[in-house]
Structure 1
Amino acid sequence: MRKAAALTAALLTLAALAGCSTDDDSRGPRWRPRPGLAWQWQLDGRVDPSVDVPVYDIDGFENSAADVARLHRDGRKVICYVNVGAWEDFRPDQDAFPDSVLGRPNGWKGERWLDIRRLSVLRPIMERRFDMCRDKGFDAIEPDLLEGYGNDTGFPLTARDQLRYNRMIADLAHRRGLSVGLKNDLPQIPQLVHHFDFAVNEECAQFDECGELKPFITAGKAVFHVEYAEPTAAFCPDSRRLKLSSMRKKLELGVWRAPC
């Protein structure tokens, strides 16, 4: 009897291990935002919680666990902005990046492109950043600059390099129970839509590219979209038709917003 019981217990243990997920199940089901959700995107300074929308996207370093908790008490979901494609000289972990992975400036003050081929170097840095987002209580991650392969980075990056890196980024978020958005990178949406839980897009209307985001909407996943130069009258009708979560913002991404 004891042998049979031990065998049964062993089989149950094996079955449990076989069914384990790589997600952090202690946080419960991962948030999966649906199309049409209104949102606020504020990366300039500490968050102003006064905008009455269900989703906030804010800087992961500049906001505290208390800021996230305040938004949660107000019934909001909160996305953690993290730059994963460029080094920033104003971040507290700037010294964690060796010089060998730093490329050309990307046009923003204090930023340089990263050599995303160096997964063994960048993975632990991004793991620590995503741990920060999780530990502060964020629901999701907005990883910025996921399309270095299409820019003059100083490295011979290919589309395949970018796919491998972007999939790694999605996996790191999911392992922590966090949802994750695909930031821009429109050409690779067909290969990545199943790896990401939503999309974040800048200026698809200005460049007549919003139709390329349809795979996310078809999959029941939100597309959080902003325009900077186009007036709302020029893009909101199409945004509503496509079920995008659209608004106009100023380039500095402060509190001001003009939603559709």
Structure 2
Amino acid sequence: MSKPRSVIRRVLLASLASALAATAVYSALDLGSEAEAAATLPPTHAKFDYQIGGAYTPPSGVQVVTRDRTAAPAAGLYNICYVNAFQVQPGEQGSWASDLLLRDAQGNLVIDEDWGEPLLDLRTADKRTRVAAKVNGWIDQCASKGYKAIEPDNYDSYERSKNLLTKAQAKAYLTLLATHAHSKNLAIAQKNTVELAADRQSVGLDFAVAEECGQYDECGDYVDHFGNNVIVIEYTDAGRQKACSGFGSTLTIVQRDVDVSTPGSAGYVRKTC
């Protein structure tokens, strides 16, 4: 399972008015289609736990949980399904068609070296459609399990692509996923990539999941585009304190250990404002 890229990734928020409620219905005005109008957003300023490193019983009072797509959702809570949508999980390379893995001019796989993940090739409309078909199958599984939203990771893979991928290709591909998620009545997040926050409506993104926006003074940028529909994950005490100081009364904020480990693990951390 992919772990958070705390230093590399960023998330963005957009300024929908803070009047957007926890149960707000995704508007057909944002998507341009009445058929895509039934997704429920996560509650704002909620107690949250980030469990992509392994599922466990949520702490008391938690309202929103993110878990990996392979896990079952937590009963009675708002569940977000984590999907590594732009890169390939370690050990899963063989499950992808070879031509959908990004290669450089020498034919070598382009790898996210920090996490050992090959990048997916999004350079043509045909390849984006084929990659999306596979990932949309995972989204269908999330929906059938009872998840309410999707967190597609590595929107910013173009930054690690040796200049082979572009922002426009990332947006075109994510639009395919967003359209499909909405057809399943699922909300969909923008994960980090603050520089693309202004495009969230044209892509079809409902809320933001921002790693270390407190640490890097970016939480306000997310709010500018997503209002209070922002989930903040910090990995240091200093980052959590900054996020809580500026946004603790409005945003959903949690501090986890960078390995997002389970309780009982030596490095397990979970703190809130």
TM-score range, shorter chain: 0.7 to 0.9
Mapped contact 2:208–2:226 kept (Cα < 8 A): no
2:234 aligned to which of 209, 222, 227: 227
- Give, in angstroms, the shift of residue 42 of structure 1: 0.8
> What is residue 129 of structure 1 aligned with on the other side?
138
After superposition, residues 111-260 of structure 1 pair within 5 angstroms as 111-117=117-123, 118-149=127-158, 151-154=159-162, 156-193=164-201, 195-218=204-227, 221-231=228-238, 232-240=240-248, 243-255=250-262, 256-260=269-273
**C-alpha distance in structure 2 between counterparts of 1:157 and 1:217, whole Å:** 26
**C-alpha distance in structure 1 between counterparts of 2:170 and 2:161, whole Å:** 12
Q: Normalized against structure 2, the TM-score is what?
A: 0.74
How many percent of aligned residue pairs carry the same amino acid?
26
Q: Normalized against structure 1, the TM-score is what?
A: 0.78
Mapped contact 1:199–1:222 kept (Cα < 8 A): yes
User: What one-letter code is carried by the residue in structure 1 that aligns with 2:170?
Assistant: Q
**C-alpha distance in structure 2 between counterparts of 1:193 and 1:40, whole Å:** 26
More helix by share: 1
- Give, in angstroms, the shift of residue 154 of structure 1: 4.2
> What is residue 90 of structure 1 aligned with on the other side?
91
Residue aligned with 1:160, SS: helix
**C-alpha distance in structure 2 between counterparts of 1:138 and 1:153, whole Å:** 31
Distance 1:214 1:193, change over 3 A: farther
**C-alpha distance in structure 2 between counterparts of 1:153 and 1:230, whole Å:** 31
- Give, in angstroms, the shift of residue 193 of structure 1: 4.1
**C-alpha distance in structure 1 between counterparts of 2:63 and 2:155, whole Å:** 25
After superposition, residues 3-22 of structure 1 pair within 5 angstroms as 21-22=34-35
Any unmatched runs of 5+ in structure 2?
1-32, 103-109, 263-268
- Give, in angstroms, the shift of residue 208 of structure 1: 1.8
Relative contact order, higher structure (CA 8 A, sep 6+):
2
CA radius of gyration, larger in: 1
Mapped contact 1:56–1:79 kept (Cα < 8 A): yes
Equivalent residue pairs, number: 223
User: What one-letter code is carried by the residue in structure 1 that aligns with 2:179?
Assistant: D
Residues 51-77 of structure 1 deviation map (CA, whole Å, 9 limit, x = unaligned): 42110001111x13xxx2xx33xx311
Residue aligned with 1:213, SS: helix
